[in-house]
Copies of this chain bind each other. A is one copy, B any other.
Amino acid sequence: MSEISLIERVGRELGQSAPDVPLYKRLKSAIETAIRSNAVKPGGMLPGERVLAENLSLSRVTVRKALALLEEEGLLNRRHGFRTEVGSRVEKSLATLTSFSEDIRARGMEPGCVWLSKQISRPSPAEMMALGLSASAMVVRMKRVRTADGQPIAVESSTVPTRFVPSPDLVRDSLYEALAARGFMPQRAIQRMRSRAASSEDAAHLHCEAGAPLLVTERRCFLPDEQIVEYCETRYKGEVYDFVFELQR
């Protein structure tokens, strides 16, 4: 469906809506209907805010208010300087199949995390190797304790080149959300799992004894164009095995 016919459709929808509801809410509903009826496919682009405003004879403020609501609901994904993309929240969470939070929720517990550090620095030798970076590159390194129902169950270190996430402050709870917001959605990952003894530091964070066996996962995440976007090492209290699998959305 072309941009013009989409706008016409939204325009008709808008005309038929109750006039005592605020315009921006009516516009929001109209666009939502268009999306849900698949007039724009997920992954497709919405017309620019200026185009929408002009063709619907609305002000940009109104259009932006409507889009803001839709983005909050997860139906849209806006990117500064790029465009506004259609993408449902359900798909977002599918793409983060590897997400710790989902894993924990699926087991009926409440996920949480405590940040140990967020820093921007040069990559370590291992990180250079894993991410394919030269020494002059910069990375954002984040370390946190993952919890389930408040109990610590893993220590996780994520490293991302600043090219993809320029500042650690952009990451709130979910690294994947920060990546997605900038248009870098990992599509494939290679993950290795094996066991290792807990260091005294690990032990302190995980409330276990030093030397206790941990399940260690190493993960390299790839963008659709095979660029390496993240290197992540997680040390879980748990099982013992050595296994590699491929993660795909």
Which A residues have a C-beta under 8 Å from some C-beta of B? Answer: 125-126, 128-129, 132-135, 188, 190, 192, 194, 218, 220, 222, 225-227, 242-246
Q: Are B125 and A192 in touch, CB under 8 angstroms? A: yes
Q: Are A128 and B227 in touch, CB under 8 angstroms? A: no
| Complex partner residue of A227 from B192, B194, B226, CB under 8 angstroms | B226
Q: Are B190 and A245 in touch, CB under 8 angstroms? A: no
Q: Are B128 and A244 in touch, CB under 8 angstroms? A: yes
| Complex partner residue of A245 from B135, B218, B245, CB under 8 angstroms | B135
Residues in B neighbouring A244, C-beta threshold 8 A: 125, 128-129, 135
Residues in B neighbouring A125, C-beta threshold 8 A: 192, 194, 242-244
Q: How far is the CB of A121 from chain B (nearest CB, A)?
A: 15
| Complex partner residue of A132 from B128, B190, B218, CB under 8 angstroms | B190
A242, closest chain B residue (CB):
B125
Residues in B neighbouring A218, C-beta threshold 8 A: 129
Q: State the 5 A-B residue pairs at the shortest beta-carbon distance, nearest first.
A: A134-B246, A128-B244, A125-B244, A129-B192, A132-B190
Most B C-beta atoms less than 10 A away, residue of A126, A226, A243, A245 = A226
**What are 19 A-B pairs with beta-carbon distances under 8 A?**
A125-B192, A125-B242, A125-B243, A125-B244, A128-B192, A128-B244, A129-B218, A129-B244, A132-B220, A132-B222, A133-B190, A134-B190, A134-B245, A134-B246, A135-B244, A135-B245, A135-B246, A226-B226, A226-B227
